[in-house]
């Protein structure tokens, strides 16, 4: 019987080698899949505990004064660990830290096997959003009494270990038989657990659940198309407010009646009935998801005309599917047939995956991804990549096994179970299909789109539609992408795709025009040319961005006139040579594949490989075509071309982009003109009460019907809008002086609000200055400072960290101005450092300005100002998320009252009183308000 010791440490910092020490140790013993005992002790670190650690853990210096030093508990620790497997959540932190302390205390290191519950949980639960211990505890309903305390963390980690074992024990035998050999390539000693579980499972007769099957040696969920029971009766659409109130109250959802929501329902209903397009601005708190879902359901079920809903974010997609549509079904008292539609490459190609399992591949990321997918196949109905939590390397493996069609006429034995074909079949019988803007726009220019069957469309978060269209229609080619493609193909001696293709040619006695060594020579030359091209671009980017002010992300726009300059001729010639070499490689690969396809007797593994090669060839051609944008063939003034990269990783981080300057024309021709009714909704569509800017950007005619429904929130009672009158005008002082004044001001405000403050910036330089000035002042030592571009992690991770701490300040850049939802007391104070004008030298902004200038319009009033006002409205929307929220809104940019365009911003907000106060007056307001 295996004995596991689950360990967690609390420490004074992250590095034992730099002198950080353990302040609490806990070990939980697990035997026979049961928790047996737990040993916990505080440890005197013989040094002060930093305030941040005390805030995080609740362990202060007073609690450790009488605690033993580490050397006193070390013998007990050695005794517990003897003949055991060491387990921790992130074992690469806890084990080395413990080893360092044991060494310092004169004890030998632990030499037994180790196991990481991060790795184990990622395999056992491959679809979770986060593998942090607290998030896992929430997801798996493991009671976590005191996060960031070693005793509670160790106990929860032990329960997590048992949950992972239990999940794996529930897997079918065939899945475990495939997991065991793969587990030998993992970083930790998980193979023993998988072997034990498999051995135990084999002792019993297995009965698969009715919704699961084993096909060709792989266990997966059965695909069952929803039955079409003919027309369904959902009653009459509620006509007036009284009927709607009665209908809502009878639904059993407990939802309150909202007149604004009823109004929006009717406008969507009318748009569908009249078969017209409508732009509908719906203020925060209306409940717009249900306001458009109810009429969509009546249109789809009563009228038998399916409705497509597109959102910008994956989060809203999931909210619609997992929450709002379930609520809708409860109201209608009938199922609503719903499908989530993605692009083909989002789905798993089962034939390619099956064959990949037969390869002797021991590369960690590929092996790990295979294990995750095997477990996932027992759960997934959709086969959609977005369900999976793959690593970066795992996503590279996905490129090999993604569904991108069938390139040969040979039979795919998995076709009857194909996920993409299943999604299309579900869509054909769906009432409501949900997708995202990127997917919608990717289908715009196709002759046959997966969305052709949907003539009634709702675009949520419609203010992002034009941007999504530009990005999706646009093209990109990156250094990493091209080097990755080169590595996938490989030279003959590297034994990658090209080697395998050549071996297959030899097997069938076939010969191509170009010999293998000639192809190798072309590939070696191509590799060198790529290094030259991106090396030259790196130099040009650096030269153009000498003054980066510490911001690492840099951009360089490339205009048509650049190609006429002598300095750019070498870049142009190098690009042409790369494209010529890529074309030659394409031709020789096509020739080889064509010869192989003429062979009659081809085994399945060879056929799957040919499918993979055709898939690779399609990506290779696309990349070559995208490089045409860089060879001066950028389509004239309609497109903007630029190079983007990170100063810390040149040339590896460089990406070449080409986007249309204005996507409205494409949206009009390829989308709006082909649909009977499109409802476009968002909380921010108007500037100064006018839809003109939004209609122009999206290509909608000015005759399009427009509707504004204000928010039901009482902002005049929920918000204190303050403009400081004792801060300098940002245009009258240097950025350093303004940062200093701003930091001093915000230190006082932060103390008054007890943190719970988000500061929105438009410039990384200003963010960095203010962050360091505030942090290094020493005035807020027990506060958590979280800054985009400085603190590590994604936007959602930074937001979760902000919500986790009682006293926290969040410093955000562009992506924090919208889509961040922090309701309640977690956010009490929103600060805008500057009005959110886009940087004028940013490539797309500059190109847009050129575009309006060429049309005889003022770029500032036609583009820069309306764009800034919309971002301002989005930013303001972060503060009040429910009718119970209260908050302070501070705008530190005096231009909002001194510039002639200032009223454009203030008038864009709901009715709210503006106050001009000095710091002392502001602090008094905060004290009484919060």
Residues tagged in the binding site annotation for ATP = 282-289
List the one residue out of 450, 459, 116, 441 whose CA is nearest residue 280: 459
97 and 11 Cβ atoms separated by less than 8 Å: yes
Residue 473 CB-half CA count within 13 A: 23
Three-class DSSP category at 288: helix
**Do residues 512 and 595 make contact, with C-beta atoms less than 8 angstroms apart?**
yes
H helices present in 28-116, as ranges: 51-57, 61-64, 70-81, 91-104
First-to-last CA distance in the chain? 58
Query: Phi first, then psi: what are they for 83, rounded to 5°?
Result: 55, 40
Q: Which residues are within 8 A (CB) of 97 and not within 5 positions of it... i.e. 6 or more apart?
A: 9, 11, 16, 20, 22
User: What would the DSSP string read from start to end of 605-641?
Assistant: HHHHHHHHHHHHHHHHHHHHHHHGGGTT-S-GGGEEE
Strands 34-42 and 22-31: antiparallel
Phi, psi of 418 (to 5 degrees): -65, 135
Confirm if 629 and 512 have CB atoms less than 8 A apart: no
CB 284 within 8 A of CB 308: no
Nearest CA among 762, 521, 489 for reference residue 615 = 489
The secondary element (H helix, E strand) that includes residue 928 is helix 919-929
Rounded to whole angstroms, the Cα distance separating 444 from 450 reads 10
Burial group, residue 923, by CB count within 10 angstroms (0-12, 13-18, 19+): middle
Cβ–Cβ < 8 Å for 329, 320:
no
Task: Put residue 301 in one of left, alpha, beta given phi > 0 → left and psi -120 to 50 → alpha.
Answer: alpha
Distance (Å, whole) CA 651 – CA 41: 50
| φ, ψ (nearest 5 deg) of residue 122 | -70, -30
Distance CA 870, CA 462 (A): 12
Dig out the tokens for 218 from the structure.
């792989």
- d(CA 280, CA 267) in angstroms, rounded, equals 8
What is the DSSP annotation of 425-477?
Answer: HHHHT-SEEEEEHHHHHHTTT-SS-TTTT--EEEESSGGGHHHHHHHHHSEEE
Total length of the chain: 930
Residues annotated within a binding site: 282-289
Contact 401, 385 (CB under 8 A): no
- The structure tokens listed for 187 are 């970083």
C-alpha dihedral over 640, 646, 650, 653, to 10 degrees?
-70
Instruction: For residue 651, say if its preceding peptide bond is cis, omega within 30 degrees of 0.
Output: yes
């Amino acid at each position: 019987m295996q004995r596991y010791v689950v360990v967690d440490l609390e420490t004074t910092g992250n590095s034992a080698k730099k002198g950080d020490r353990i302040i609490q140790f806990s070990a939980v013993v697990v035997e026979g899949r049961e928790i047996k005992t737990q040993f916990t002790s505080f440890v005197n670190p013989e040094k002060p505990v930093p305030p941040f650690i005390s805030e995080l853990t609740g362990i202060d210096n007073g609690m450790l004064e009488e605690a033993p030093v580490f050397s006193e508990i070390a013998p007990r620790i050695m005794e517990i660990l003897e003949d055991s497997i060491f387990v921790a959540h992130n074992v690469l932190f806890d084990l080395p830290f413990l080893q360092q302390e044991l060494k310092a205390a004169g004890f030998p290191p632990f030499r037994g096997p180790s196991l990481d519950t991060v790795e184990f949980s990622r395999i056992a639960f491959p679809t979770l959003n986060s593998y942090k211990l607290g998030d896992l505890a929430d997801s798996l309903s493991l009671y976590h009494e005191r996060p960031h305390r070693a005793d509670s963390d160790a106990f929860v980690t032990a329960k997590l270990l048992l949950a992972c074992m239990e999940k794996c024990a529930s897997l079918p035998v065939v899945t475990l038989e495939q997991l065991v050999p793969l587990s030998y390539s993992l970083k930790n000693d998980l193979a023993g657990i998988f072997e034990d579980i498999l051995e135990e499972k084999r002792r019993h007769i297995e009965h698969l659940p009715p919704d699961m099957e084993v096909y060709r040696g792989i266990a997966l969920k059965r695909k069952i198309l929803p039955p079409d029971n003919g027309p369904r009766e959902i009653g009459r659409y509620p006509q007036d407010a009284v009927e709607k109130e009665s209908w809502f109250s009878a639904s059993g959802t407990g939802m309150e009646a909202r007149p604004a929501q009823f109004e929006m329902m009717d406008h969507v209903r009318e748009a569908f009935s009249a078969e017209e397009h409508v732009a509908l601005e719906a203020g925060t708190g209306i409940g717009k998801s249900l306001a458009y879902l109810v009429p969509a359901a009546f249109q789809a079920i009563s009228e038998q005309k399916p409705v497509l809903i597109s959102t910008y974010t994956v989060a809203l997609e999931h909210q619609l599917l997992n929450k709002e549509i379930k609520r809708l079904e409860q109201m209608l008292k009938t199922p609503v047939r719903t499908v989530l539609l993605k692009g083909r490459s989002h789905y798993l190609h089962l034939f390619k995956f099956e064959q990949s399992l037969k390869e002797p591949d021991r590369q960690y990321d590929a092996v790990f991804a295979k294990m995750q997918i095997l477990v996932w196949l027992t759960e997934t109905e959709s086969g959609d990549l977005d369900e999976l939590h793959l690593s970066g390397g795992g996503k590279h493996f996905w490129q090999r096994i993604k569904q991108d069609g069938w390139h040969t006429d040979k039979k795919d034995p998995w076709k009857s179970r194909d996920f993409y074909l299943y999604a299309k079949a579900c869509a054909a019988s769906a009432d409501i299909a949900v997708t995202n803007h990127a997917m919608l726009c990717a289908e715009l220019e196709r002759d046959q789109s997966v969305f052709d069957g949907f003539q009634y469309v709702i675009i949520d978060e419609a203010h992002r539609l034009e941007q999504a269209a530009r990005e999706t229609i646009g093209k990109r080619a990156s250094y990493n992408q091209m080097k990755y493609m080169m590595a996938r193909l490989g030279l003959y001696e590297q034994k990658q795709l090209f080697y395998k293709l050549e071996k297959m040619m030899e097997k069938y006695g076939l010969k191509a025009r170009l010999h293998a060594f000639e192809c190798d020579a072309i590939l070696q030359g191509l590799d060198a040319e790529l290094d030259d091209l991106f090396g030259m671009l790196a130099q040009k980017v650096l030269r153009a961005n000498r003054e980066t002010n510490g911001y690492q992300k840099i951009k360089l726009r490339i205009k048509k006139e650049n190609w006429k300059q002598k300095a750019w001729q070498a870049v142009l010639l190098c690009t042409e040579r790369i494209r010529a070499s890529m074309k030659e490689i394409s031709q020789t690969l096509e020739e080889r594949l064509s010869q192989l396809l003429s062979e009659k007797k081809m085994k399945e593994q060879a056929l799957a490989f040919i499918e993979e090669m055709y898939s690779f060839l399609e990506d290779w051609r696309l990349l070559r075509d995208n490089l045409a944008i860089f060879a001066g063939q950028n389509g004239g003034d309609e497109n903007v071309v630029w190079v983007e990269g990170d100063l810390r990783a040149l040339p590896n981080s460089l990406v070449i982009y080409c986007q249309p300057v204005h996507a409205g024309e494409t949206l009009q021709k390829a989308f709006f003109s082909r649909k009977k009714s499109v409802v476009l909704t968002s909380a921010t569509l108007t500037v100064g009460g006018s839809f003109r800017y939004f209609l122009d950007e999206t290509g909608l005619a000015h005759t399009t019907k427009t509707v504004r429904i204000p928010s039901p929130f009482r902002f005049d009672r929920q918000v204190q809008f303050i403009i400081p009158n004792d801060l300098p005008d940002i245009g009258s002082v240097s950025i350093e002086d303004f940062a200093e004044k701003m930091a001093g001001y915000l230190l006082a405000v932060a103390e008054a609000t007890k943190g719970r403050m988000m500061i929105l910036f438009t410039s990384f330089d200003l963010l960095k200055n203010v962050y360091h000035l505030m942090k290094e002042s020493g005035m807020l030592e027990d506060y958590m400072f979280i800054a985009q571009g400085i603190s590590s992690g994604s936007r959602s991770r930074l937001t979760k960290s902000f919500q986790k701490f009682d006293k926290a300040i969040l410093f955000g850049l562009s992506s924090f101005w919208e889509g961040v939802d922090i309701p309640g007391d977690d956010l009490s104070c929103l600060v805008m450092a500057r009005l959110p004008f886009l940087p004028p030298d940013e490539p797309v902004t500059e190109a847009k300005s050129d575009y309006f200038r060429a049309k005889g319009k003022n770029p500032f009033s036609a583009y820069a100002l309306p764009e800034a006002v919309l971002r301002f409205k989005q930013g303001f929307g972060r503060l009040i998320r429910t009718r119970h929220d209260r908050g302070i809104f501070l705008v530190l940019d005096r231009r909002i009252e001194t510039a002639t365009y200032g009223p454009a911003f203030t008038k864009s907000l709901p009715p709210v009183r503006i106050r001009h106060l000095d710091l002392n007056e502001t602090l008094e307001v905060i004290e009484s308000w919060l």
